[in-house]
Amino acid sequence: MPAIRRAEATWTGDLMSGTGVVSARSSGAFDELPVSWAARTESADGRTSPEELVAAAHAACFSMALSGALARAGSPPERLEVSAEVTFDKAEAGWRVTRSEMTVHGRVPGMSEEDFRAAADAAKDGCPISQALKGNVELTVEASLEA
């Protein structure tokens, strides 16, 4: 059975001077987070953006995918710290998301750096959010183990 999640946005005004809010309706995890065009293209100033929400989704999805893969390989992680940086840039065709760069630092007892990097690369290609972005957005991952 498919999992369906719902979020809502309300916008007031024109693109450049207007503002909006976005809310997670399925979980209730956040309500009325402020958004604006300036938060997307200039300084966030306490507002979020679709790109920041994509970065959060990608970091969370990737961490789950990597954790699952490591556990299936017999090396469950003690800890994974994942960050995702999503780039929103103006191209010839207009504004678009161009990159999602992930960085992961892991504590995985008994695993080599080479094996960890290979698992991270596979998770980058395999997590569902990566799959949704693939072909439209450049995806990268930099992985390192704690010593």
Q: Which residues pair with 99 in a beta bridge?
A: 87, 138
Confidence check: pLDDT of 147 > 80: no
Give the HSE-up count for residue 52: Cα atoms under 13 Å, Cβ half-sphere.
16
Structural domains of the chain sorted by starting position, each given as residue range(s) with its CATH number in brackets: 7-41 (no CATH), 50-145 (3.30.300.20)
Quote the pTM value.
0.94
The amino acid that residue 48 corresponds to is: T
Which of 42, 40, 64, 41 lies closest to 52 in space, CA to CA? 40
Q: What is the mean pLDDT of the chain?
A: 96
User: In terms of pLDDT, which residue wins out, 91 or 55?
Assistant: 55
pLDDT band at 142 (very low <50, low <70, confident <90, very high): very high
Strands 138-145 and 94-107, by their bridges, are parallel
Mean pLDDT of 46-53: 96
Mean pLDDT on 68-82: 97
